[in-house]
Amino acid sequence: MAAGPAAGDPATIIAFPRQGPLQVGFDRIELQKILDLYGRMVAAGQWRDYAMNFAADAASFSAYRRTSERPQALIEKRPALRNRQGMWTLFGEHGQVLRRGHELPGVLAPVERRLLKLVAD
């Protein structure tokens, strides 16, 4: 019988399995940009409520005109798409993709333009 290292032997090295992050989130600068836009939309009377969702593969920010409705805008961060079409996506009220991109300010541009039109009226 061959003698091998025993599990309790102090010379045995056991590698722990590597795990990715348990959930995706927004960093401080990203959240600041999103909440700044949210505050301006609230001041314009367009949005009244928001929700954030953090999952293993994506983080999302939903903005609502009224609490009981579908979100008027949904901003999603999906890092797995970073090297493809970009990790940021802006969805409209009916689930249509309004903009995808690698940079958050570019993805938020359609909502920013709508805010400028509201002020101009």
| pLDDT per position as a tens digit, 12-43 | 877 777 666 678 889 999 999 999 999 999 99
- Separate counts of helices (H) and strands (E) for the chain: 2, 5
Q: Is 116 within a domain? A: no
Residue 120 lies in a domain: no
**Domain of 35?**
28-102
pLDDT band at 80 (very low <50, low <70, confident <90, very high): confident
Domain count, the chain: 1
The set of residues, in sequence order, having a beta carbon less than 8 Å from that of 96 and lying 6+ positions away, is none
Return d(Cα 40, Cα 42) in angstroms, integer: 5
Q: What percent of the chain has pLDDT over 90?
A: 46
pLDDT category of residue 118 using cuts at 50, 70 and 90: low
Backbone torsions φ then ψ of 53, nearest 5 degrees: -130, 130
Q: In this structure, what token pair is assigned to residue 26?
A: 């927004």
pLDDT tens profile 3-14: 555 556 677 877
Q: Is residue 115 part of a domain?
A: no
